[in-house]
């Protein structure tokens, strides 16, 4: 019975699929000539700028390069950031 479940589980976690997913991700960085360190620098700068206007949750800050698949099967890279806001600061608001 155990073997049976093992068999089922294996179907969902083939090593070639792991290889493919890892390659896709690493190639996004390779092709854009961007290293994780570079991404950290971008993240640091974004935090600096945004913090002037709002208080953000730095621990929840998520930034990554991704790729967008178009209808013609081509891909383009995209920088995707998810930045949780704790509170808006009072500057820049239209106080009438």
Partner 1 sequence: MGEVIVITSGKGGVGKTTTTANIGTALALAGKKVVLIDADIGLRNLDVVMGLENRIVYDLVDAVEGVCRLKQALIRDKRFEGLYLLPAAQTRDKNAVSPAQMQKLCEELKEHFDFILIDSPAGIEQGFKNAIAGADKAIVVTVPEVSAVRDADRIIGLLAANELIEPKLIVNRLRMDMVKRGDMMNIEDTIDILGVDLLGVVPDDENIIVSSNRGEPVVTEERSLAGQAYRNISQRLLGKEVPLINMETEDTFMEKLRRLFSGKNNKRY
Q: 56 vs 1, 10, 94, CA distance in Å?
A: 50, 41, 21
3-class DSSP state for residue 80? Answer: strand
Q: Does 14 bind partner 1 (CB under 8 A)?
A: yes
Q: Does 31 bind partner 1 (CB under 8 A)?
A: yes
Report residue 14 as tokens: 């083939």
Q: Does 40 bind partner 1 (CB under 8 A)?
A: no
DSSP string across 19-58: HHHHHHHHHHHHHHT--HHHHHHHHHHHHHHHHTTEEE-G
Binding mask 49-88 for partner 1 (x = CB under 8 A): --------------------------x-------------
1, 9, 16, 91: which one binds partner 1 (CB under 8 A):
16
In the complex, which residues of this chain contact partner 1 (CB under 8 A)? 10-11, 14-17, 19-20, 22-24, 26-27, 30-31, 75
């Amino acid at each position: 019975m155990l073997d049976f479940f093992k068999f089922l589980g294996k179907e969902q976690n083939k090593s070639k699929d792991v290889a493919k997913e890892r390659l896709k991700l690493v190639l996004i960085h390779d092709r854009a000539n961007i290293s994780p360190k570079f991404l950290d620098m971008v993240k640091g700068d974004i935090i600096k700028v945004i913090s002037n206007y709002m208080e953000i949750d730095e621990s929840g800050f998520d930034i990554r390069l991704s790729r967008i698949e178009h209808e013609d099967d081509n891909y383009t890279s995209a920088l995707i950031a998810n930045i949780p806001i704790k509170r808006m600061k009072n500057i820049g608001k239209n106080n009438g």
